[in-house]
Structure 1
Amino acid sequence: MSAARTQAAPAPARARGGRLSGVLAAVATAALLGGALLGTTPSAAARPAGDPAAGPAGGSGAGPAGGTWSGTWGTAPAPAAPDGISQTGIDDRTVRMIAHTSVGGGELRLRLSNAHGTRDLVLGRITVGRAESSGSATAVPGSLRPVTFGGATGTTVPAGAETVSDPLPYDVPAGADLLVSVHLPRPTGPTTWHWLAQQTSYLSDPGDHTGDQGAAAFTGTQTSWFFLTGVDVRGTATRGTVVALGDSQTDGSGSTPDGNGRWTDAFARRLAADPATQGLGVLNKGIGGNRVLRDGTETERPQRGTSALGRLDRDVLNQSGVRAAVLYEGINDLQLAPYAGAEEVLAGLRTLAGRLHARGIPVIVGTLTPFKDSPLWTAEAERQRLALNAALRTSPDFDAVADFDAVVRDPADPQRVRAAYDSGDHIHLNDTGYRAVADAVPTDLLTAGDPAISAPRTDGRHP
């Protein structure tokens, strides 16, 4: 990483961030200690869902496919909603889910989670294949392959744990739709899921349909992912992962369903098109309604997930080959009751940055975009948004700033999103708006010639 902090928009004059108040410093310290690494290393087959010491995080050992294990697709798990299929669970059905890849490789492994389950999760047969066409549940003929766990065709994941499959030699193109089919032979109880997928998943008639090339048995649809949280790849050109931690703006609310129009999708295409950043995967760890400081279980919507502070280990630090993180979160802390102020959110973001820096991971922070005319807009929330953005633009706690506010606001009324970028609800963006966001992320920290990312830091120091 270069010594200078970089920004997508013209940089304002640098200023040192103000000190946290005693109360906020105590909160930040407590959050940091709460995310300390566990002292034991459980088996990779089933480990606590937030344990960064146990998984393949940063796993860069070369294998048959060479290169670095990198995340090509990911989502963030959350607790079941109070009602619906996530609450009642799934019994003797096959779920066929689509994972749109960001980087290619010659070997893959799957991540599945029972982080929020209330009982052991029995995973039956699992296959991976290529979708015949975008968003289709039909597999390319001959593309389906079984996935194993310690050589077995299924496994059991205890409540609160996750599992990683055996590596599977498989040609994974970048920008492709993988079909991951999971048979759930026993009642799952409340599921670990991701509710706002912006992607169709398919639910079968009773039985194991993981080996079905066609889609005839997949008679039900959902717009959520269940239990599947990641796909890692390794190949001769894979170089690591950029992880985006955020809320519904990162989750892609407002983008075209099944269209891969999230800003992280556009960012992955941008990285792939640039020889300097080719080989980097992008993981989307946004959750609709998520906050920096407060869990969804503290409200009536548990599906909003664990706070960013609470899920950093699982969703970022425990991912494969992490080279940088983008923090784009805080608007829900300001606009949803019980409300937080700009100083509190800034303290939380600083804590996240400190924990990432302790692992040698550079941090890009995003400013919060306008939302006037949204039902949740208030003059006070707007005041806090502007104060937080001003602090983010000048704080020395982050390595780069992506000034999303500057690129999407209406020049005639900066409290509003540009009409051309507005999905219609005056807070979430459309595909065009998310492309503008993707273009605003600085990539100086990600270039191959930057010594700060040529290998993970091991001295625990901020690059």
Structure 2
Amino acid sequence: MSGARRRRGRLSVLLTVTATAALLLGGAPSAGARSGAGPAAAADGGVWSGTWGTAPAPAAPDGISRTGLDDRTVRMIAHTSVGGEELRLRLSNAHGTQEVEFGRVTVGLATSPDSAAAVPDSLRPVTFDGASSTTVPAGAEVVSDPLPYPVPGGADLLISVHLPKPTGPTTWHWLAQQTSYVSEPGDHTGDPGAAAFTGTETSWFFLTGVDVRGPATRGTVVALGDSQTDGSGSTLNGNGRWTDAFARRLSADPATAGLGVLNKGIGGNRVLRDGTETERPQRGTSALGRLDRDVLNQSEVRAVVLYEGINDLQLAPYASAEEVLDGLRTLAERLHARGIRVVVGTLTPFKDSPLWTAEAERQRVALNAALRTCPDFDAVADFDAAVRDPADPQRVRAAYDSGDHIHLNDSGYRAVADAVPTDLLAAGHPAATAPRADGRHV
């Protein structure tokens, strides 16, 4: 962004790990791995790929996201979708009101998906332009130096960030479906144990992405959506979002293995309208407004799954099916201009949920019918057909219902993941976008 400081960094310290940690991390670092900026592949053929991501949003009107953090360490878990031999982190102050100092930052492996404890000897420091800390202006983001750190897909990275000074309102992601941990005062980034992390939140703070690179990394698939993509209704700390199941599906197929999956869903998000200060700002910028940051600025994006629009239909001021379709077509046009393939998802049923109305249902059915035949998308994922009740298509199948009659449970999200066509993701298709340079404020 304009006015943001741009910095580029290199990491020159090689990583050494104990035999136990090396096994857990997936082996020793490759001699061919290199640090550096730009879209070029590593010497052994891999490219930077997004292995984990979330979409940043403004602070809520009250609570910890609004008051911020001061001399605390926040420890967060990021579940990887694809493995690599080196990694880099993305930290964001996109929605902050003042500059934020990120003090010491470390990455390790969690002992379990619901623990703040690190696997012994797995913690390593992360640097920015070779320094152990960085200050990021309001409205900007930063990418760390590459760190040689072998990690497999399906691992739980433990990322700790010390915030030595008052942050003001945070840039966060409120609906994580994952426990994060807030420490007692001080820098606890190097603590292998969990004792200092006495506070818990189910949100991520400032952390928006992890990229990896290795011999087999082939690029990124981004899921752009709302709470259905965010995983509302899935098991806490269970990695039961549809994007988690989809990543496992891609990894198991030789034709699509090596692709990372980024979850850029935001609960309550809409295609056409932003969340506002009086209407849950944590719902985030509209899909149209956040496409550049959350999709086009990610690493080696090959395809996007657009699965959004239900909130436009069910939240006032209500949009029509035609208006939402126009918004989705605009997103597809912008993505196609960058050579990115677009899969669009139909909207799933929600009868008996609190916001259901006969008119919203009529608009949903009309939108789905248009999406199934619209030529502006490369493929259609018929999520509606995958999860609706055959006896009452206005309702979610009972076996897939989380209980609120709109969001799915883990089984329902697996059905959604299985409905995404993958032919256009097969090996041989070129990557569409280049990653951001390392260590830059963007």
Q: TM-score, normalised by structure 2?
A: 0.90
Match of 2:72?
A: 93
Q: Structure 1 residue 59: deviation in Å? A: 5.0
Quote the Cα distance in structure 2 between the aligned partners of 1:235 and 1:71: 12
1:151 equivalent to 2:120? Answer no
| Aligned residue number for residue 78 of structure 1 | 57
Q: Give the structure 1 partner of residue 41 of structure 2.
A: 62
**Structure 2 partner of 1:43:** 6
Instruction: Say which of 403, 409, 414 aligns to 1:435.
Output: 414
C-alpha root-mean-square deviation of aligned residues, in Å?
1.8
| CA–CA distance in structure 2, aligned partners of residues 137 and 39 of structure 1 | 37
Q: Hey, what's the Cα distance between the residues in 1 that align with 2:417 and 2:233? A: 15
Contact persistence 2:87–2:147 (CA under 8 A): yes
Distance 2:275 2:152 in 1: 36
Deviations 1:334-380 (A, max 9, x none): 00011100010000000000000000000000000000000000000
**Closer/same/farther in 2, CA of residues 147 and 120 from structure 1, 3 Å limit:** same
Cα deviations by residue, 1:62-105 (Å, 9 ceiling, x for unpaired) = 23665110000000000000000000000000000000000000
Q: Residues 186-265 of structure 1 correspond to what in structure 2 (within 5 A)? A: 186-265=165-244
Q: What is aligned with 1:387? A: 366
Q: TM-score, normalised by structure 1?
A: 0.86
Q: Which residue number corresponds to residue 284 of structure 2?
A: 305
Alignment of 1:167 with 2:136, yes or no, is: no
Alignment of 1:341 with 2:325, yes or no, is no
- 2:405 is the counterpart of 1:426: yes
Structure 1 residues 120, 39: closer, same or farther in 2, change over 3 A?
closer
Query: Which residue does 1:412 correspond to in 2?
Result: 391
Residue in structure 2 matched with residue 106 of structure 1 by the alignment: 85
Query: Could you say if the C-alpha distance between residues 220 and 45 of structure 1 is closer, same or farther in structure 2, counting changes exceeding 3 Å?
Result: farther
Do the aligned partners of residues 94 and 448 (structure 1) sit closer, same or farther apart at CA in structure 2, a change above 3 Å counting?
same
Q: Which amino acid aligns with 1:386?
A: V
1:31-77 deviation line (CA, Å, top 9, x unaligned): xxxxxxx899962569xxxxxxxxx9x95312366511000000000
Residue pair 1:65, 1:105 contacting (<8 A) in 2 also: no
User: Does the Cα contact within 8 Å between 1:331 and 1:368 map onto a contact in 2?
Assistant: yes
* Corresponding residue SS for 2:98: coil
> Structure 1, unaligned stretches of length 5 or more?
1-37, 47-55, 459-463
Shift of 1:136: 1.5
Corresponding position of 1:15: none
1:125 maps onto 2:104 in alignment? yes
1:96 is paired with a residue whose SS is strand
Tell me how far apart the structure 2 counterparts of residues 65 and 168 of structure 1 sit (CA, whole Å).
17
- Structure 2 unpaired stretches of 5+: 10-34, 435-442
User: What do residues 292-319 of structure 1 show as CA deviations (whole Å, max 9, x unaligned)?
Assistant: 0000016520000000000000000000
Q: In 2, distance between residues paired with 1:457 and 1:195?
A: 28
Contact 1:365 1:398 in 2 (8 A): yes
Deviations 1:257-297 (A, max 9, x none): 00000000000000011111100000000000000000001
Per the alignment, residue 358 of structure 1 pairs with: 337
- Which residue identity does 2:226 align to in structure 1? D
Contact 2:300 2:433 in 1 (8 A): no
Within the candidate set 435, 444, 457, 2:423 is matched to: 444
Check whether the contact 2:4–2:140 (CA below 8 A) recurs between aligned residues.
no
State the alpha-carbon separation in 2 of the partners of residues 241 and 59 from structure 1: 16
Conserved 8 A contact 2:49-2:218:
yes
Distance in 2 (alpha carbons) for counterparts of 1:235 and 1:427: 39
Specify whether residues 45 and 93 from structure 1 end up closer, same or farther in structure 2 by C-alpha distance, changes over 3 A only.
farther
Cα distance in 1, alignment partners of residues 8 and 290 from structure 2: 20
* Amino acid in the other structure paired with 1:443: T
Q: CA deviation at 1:388?
A: 0.4
| 8 Å Cα contact 2:7-2:129 kept in structure 1 | no
**Matching residue's letter, 2:6:** S
**Conserved 8 A contact 1:79-1:305:** yes
- The runs of 4+ residues in structure 1 deviating greater than 6 Å are 38-42
Q: What does residue 15 of structure 2 align with?
A: none
Q: Cα distance 1:61–1:266, how it changes in 2: closer, same or farther (>3 A)?
A: same
Deviation at 1:456, TM superposition (A): 2.9
Letter paired with 2:217 = T
Equivalent position to 2:293, from 308, 314, 323:
314
Distance 1:292 1:299 in 2: 19
Counterpart-to-counterpart distance in 1, 2:361 and 2:215: 47
Instruction: Determine the structure 1 residue equivalent to 2:20.
Output: none
Query: Which amino acid in the other structure matches residue 409 of structure 1?
Result: R
Task: Output the amino acid matched with 2:294.
Answer: D
Instruction: Tell me the distance in 2 between the aligned counterparts of 1:130 and 1:457.
Output: 30
Distance in 2 between the 1:353 and 1:347 partners?
Answer: 10
Q: Aligned partners of 2:160, 2:8: CA distance in 1, in Å?
A: 19
Task: Give the whole-Å Cα distance in 2 for the aligned partners of 1:236 and 1:448.
Answer: 14
- What is the one-letter code of the residue matched to 1:287? I
Deviation at 1:399, TM superposition (A): 0.2
- Partner residue, 2:439: none
**Post-superposition offset of 1:151:** 0.2
Does residue 137 in structure 1 map to residue 116 in structure 2? yes
Pick the aligned partner of 1:454 from 416, 419, 430.
430
* Maintained 8 Å contact 1:105/1:233: yes
Aligned partners of 2:433 and 2:180: how far apart in 1?
38
Distance 2:263 2:319 in 1: 25
State whether residues 135 and 177 of structure 1, in contact with CA within 8 Å, keep that contact through their aligned partners in structure 2. Answer: no
Is residue 91–residue 142 contact of structure 2 (8 Å, CA) maintained in 1? yes
Kindly, what percent of the aligned residue pairs are identical? 84
